[in-house]
Amino acid sequence: MTNPFIRKLENVCQISDEQRRELDRLTRVVRHLGPRDEFVEGDDGPHVVNIVLSGWAIRYRDLPDGRRQVIAILLPGDMCDPFGFLLRPVKCSFRSLTKITLAQIPVHKLRELADGSPGLTDGLWWQSHEAGEIQREKILSLGRRLAIERLAHFFCELFWRSEVTGHTEGSSCDMPITQENLGHVLGISTVQANRSLQELRERGLIRLADKRLTVIDSSMLAKLAMFDPTYLRRRAA
Amino acid sequence: MTNPFIRKLENVCQISDEQRRELDRLTRVVRHLGPRDEFVEGDDGPHVVNIVLSGWAIRYRDLPDGRRQVIAILLPGDMCDPFGFLLRPVKCSFRSLTKITLAQIPVHKLRELADGSPGLTDGLWWQSHEAGEIQREKILSLGRRLAIERLAHFFCELFWRSEVTGHTEGSSCDMPITQENLGHVLGISTVQANRSLQELRERGLIRLADKRLTVIDSSMLAKLAMFDPTYLRRRAA
DNA sequence: CGATAGGTTGAGTCGCATCAACCGGGGTGG
DNA sequence: CCACCCCGGTTGATGCGACTCAACCTATCG
C-alpha cells in the first residue's frame, strides 16, 4: 500500500520522484497506538508534525461538564493538526478509534522540503484549506441538518475522503466507529445515532456491519444528505 | 480611528512604521456597501483580498431547500476569506449586516509585503489559524450547547473580538444584528433567538437595545456560556 | 465463564420548531 | 402631512425531533 500522505498530496499537486523518496524517508519514523488511546500534539516535542498513516482517529473538544463534540475525523493521510507545520497546536484533544500508525516528521524537515518546492507547499496549504472547508460543512450540518441527514452526509463525506487515498473497494469502505462516537461526531445522542442508522438501513440506502460501510443507493443517500462534494478536493475536480 | 486590520495584526506580531505606512496605503482602495448587500469574493477580480474596515458582515452557506447557516461573523479587521491571500476562495456567500467598507488589496501586493517580513507573514497566518479556532468553537456550540448557552457564548466571543480592535466602550459594544440573523448564526429559529435573549435579560446578564450590547454580569455570562477565551488571541495572552 | 463494550428497544420528557397573530416605529408615497 | 406599509420584535399554542433513563441483548475477550 502506498503512503497515504503522499497519495493525498498528489491529488492536488505534482510530486517528483525525488520528493516522493524524501517524503517516504520522512514518514518512516512512526508511533503505534492502540484503539481508544489519547494522545497529545506536542507529546514528542513541539516540533513534530503528526500524520496518520493507518487507522482512524478523532480530534475533539469537551465542555467542562463533560459534553463531548468531535471536531474532525482523521483518516490515513491526514495531518492531525492542519496548521501543525506552522503554528502552535490546535486547542483540541486527540484519540484513536482503531489501532493507528502516526508518522512523525520534524517541522523543520518538512519546511525545508517544502521551501524547495512551491508545488509541495501548495499541497500542504491545500490540506489546511480542505480541513477548513470540512469544518464549515460541519457547521452547516450541526446547525441545520436533521439527525438522519447529518448521518447520511457523514457517510457521503467519509466515503468520498476514503476514495482519495484508495481506501474504498467498490461501494464499500471501512467505518470503524462506534455509535457512541458517531453521536459525538454528529452532535446527537447514542440512541439517536442508533435510530437514524436503522432508518438508513430500512430505507435501503446503506449497509453497515463489521465496521464496514456499503453504500447501496448513493444517489438517494446524497440527495437525503444534500451532499455537494465541491467542498472537497476542489483542485482535482 | 486607526486601521482595524493593522490593529488586529499588531495584536499578534510586530509591525514597523514603514510597514504600517505601506499597509495603510494598501487599504486605501475601498468599496462601500449598504446594509443587507450580497457580495462575492472574486467580484473584483480573483486576485483581491477583501478586508472589512468598518461595519459587520457574515459568511454563510445555504442548503438547497433554503435553510441557512451563518459560518462566521466578519468584524472590522477581518479578512473575508481567511485563505484569501493564498488559495481559491471559500465556498460561501457573503452579506453585509450594516453599511460596510471593504479594503481591497491585490493578492500579489500583500504577498510581496509579507515575503519581506516574517513577522507580517506570521500575523497573517495567525489570523487564518484564529479563524479555524473560531470555527471549531462554533462546532462545539452547535453540537453541544443549548440555545441560551450558544447565545451567551456568542456574546462573549463577539465582545472579546471587538475589544481587540478597540470597538468596545467599557462593558458595551456594537451588536448590529437582527434576531433573524442571530438564529442563522446560532442554528436556532428566530423565535427561539428572541426567547433566549429575553431570558438573558431577565437573568440580568446583559442589556441589548438599539443595536448595542452591554454586558452586565460578565462572569455569570461566561459561566453560562462555558466561555474559555484561550481559543482567541493566543499569542498575546 | 463471567465481565464488559457495543448495540437495540421502549417510555416519558424536554427543547426547540412551526404557525400565527399582533405590536411599534421608521420610512415612503400619495 | 398623514396614512400606510413593512421590517423587526414579541407572544401564545401546538407538534415534532431528539434526549434521557433504563432495560436487555449479543459478541468478544481475558
Tens digit of pLDDT for each residue in A154-193? 999 999 999 999 999 999 999 999 999 999 999 999 999 9
pLDDT in tens, A86-96: 767 788 999 99
A69 touches strand C (CB under 7 A): no
- Mean pLDDT, rounded, for A23-28: 94
pLDDT value of residue A12: 87
Query: What is the mean predicted confidence (pLDDT) over A7-34?
Result: 92
Nearest to B124 by CA among B87, B95, B97: B87
Summarize the confidence of residues A96-101 as an average pLDDT: 96
Checking if the pLDDT of B236 tops 50, the result is no
pLDDT in tens, B1-57: 589 999 999 988 889 999 999 999 999 989 999 999 998 876 666 688 999 999 999
Question: How confident is the model over A198-235, as pLDDT tens digits?
Answer: 999 999 999 999 999 999 999 999 999 999 999 997 55
Cα(B170)–Cα(B204) distance, rounded to whole angstroms? 17
DSSP A98-126: S-EEEEEEEHHHHHHHHHT-HHHHHHHHH
Nearest to B142 among A83, A126, A139 (CB): A139
The pLDDT-based confidence of B78 (bands split at 50, 70, 90) is very high
Quick count: other Cβ atoms within 10 Å of Cβ B32?
13
A72: left (phi over 0), alpha (psi -120 to 50) or beta: beta
What's the Å distance between residue B201 CA and nucleotide D14 C1'?
Answer: 26
pLDDT, position A236? 47
Give me the amino acid identity at A181.
N
Which residues touch B147 (CB under 8 Å, ≥6 apart)? B186, B188, B192, B193, B196
Alpha-carbon distance A79 to A85, whole Å? 9
- CB-based contact A136 B133, cutoff 8 Å: no
Residue A107 at interface with chain B, using a CB cutoff of 8 Å: no
Taking the C-alpha atoms of residue A60 and residue A68, their distance in angstroms, rounded to an integer, is: 7
**DSSP letters for B177-206:** --HHHHHHHHTS-HHHHHHHHHHHHHTTSE
Whole-angstrom Cα distance, residue B230 to residue B219? 16
B129: cell is 489559524
- Cα dist from A229 to A158, A199, B88, whole Å: 11, 23, 16
Phi-psi region of A191 (alpha: psi -120 to 50; beta: other; left: phi over 0): alpha
Q: What is the residue type of A167? A: H
Computed from CA positions of residues A68, A74, A79, A83, in that sequence, does the dihedral angle turn out positive or negative?
negative
Residue A213's pLDDT is what?
Answer: 98
CA atoms of B18 and A208, how far apart (whole Å):
61
Instruction: Identify nearest nucleotide to residue A148 by CA to C1′ distance.
Output: D17
Which pLDDT value is given to residue B91?
Answer: 87
How far is residue A19's CA from residue B212's CA, in Å, rounded to a whole number? Answer: 55
CB A108 within 8 A of CB B183: no
Q: Show which residues sit with Cβ under 7 A of nucleic chain D.
A: A 146-148, 183, 187-189, 191-192, 196; B 36, 178-180, 190-191, 194-195, 197-198
Residue A45 clears pLDDT 70, i.e. is over it: no
Nucleotides of C under 7 A from a protein CB: 5-11, 15-20
How much is the average pLDDT of A115-124? Answer: 88
pLDDT band at A82 (very low <50, low <70, confident <90, very high): confident
Where does B93-117 have alpha helices with state H?
A: 107-115
Could you give the CA distance from residue B35 to residue B37 in angstroms, rounded to a whole number?
6
Asked if A132 and B83 come within 8 Å (Cβ–Cβ), the reply is yes
pLDDT given for residue B181 in this prediction: 98
Asked if the model's pLDDT at residue A237 lies above 60, the reply is: no
Q: Is the pLDDT reported for residue B210 higher than 60?
A: yes
Q: Is B36 left (phi over 0), alpha (psi -120 to 50) or beta?
A: left
What is the C-alpha to C-alpha distance for residues B159 and B120, in angstroms, rounded to an integer? Answer: 25
Q: pLDDT for B133-162, tens place per residue?
A: 999 999 999 999 999 999 999 999 999 999
What residue ranges in chain A does DSSP mark as E strands?
Answer: 30-33, 38-39, 48-54, 57-62, 68-74, 93-96, 100-106, 168-169, 172-174, 206-209, 212-215
Q: What is the pLDDT of residue A2?
A: 83
Sheet holding B48-54, edge to edge: B30-33, B100-106, B48-54
How far in angstroms lies nucleotide C15's C1' from the CA of residue B190? 15
Q: Supply the pTM of this predicted model.
A: 0.96
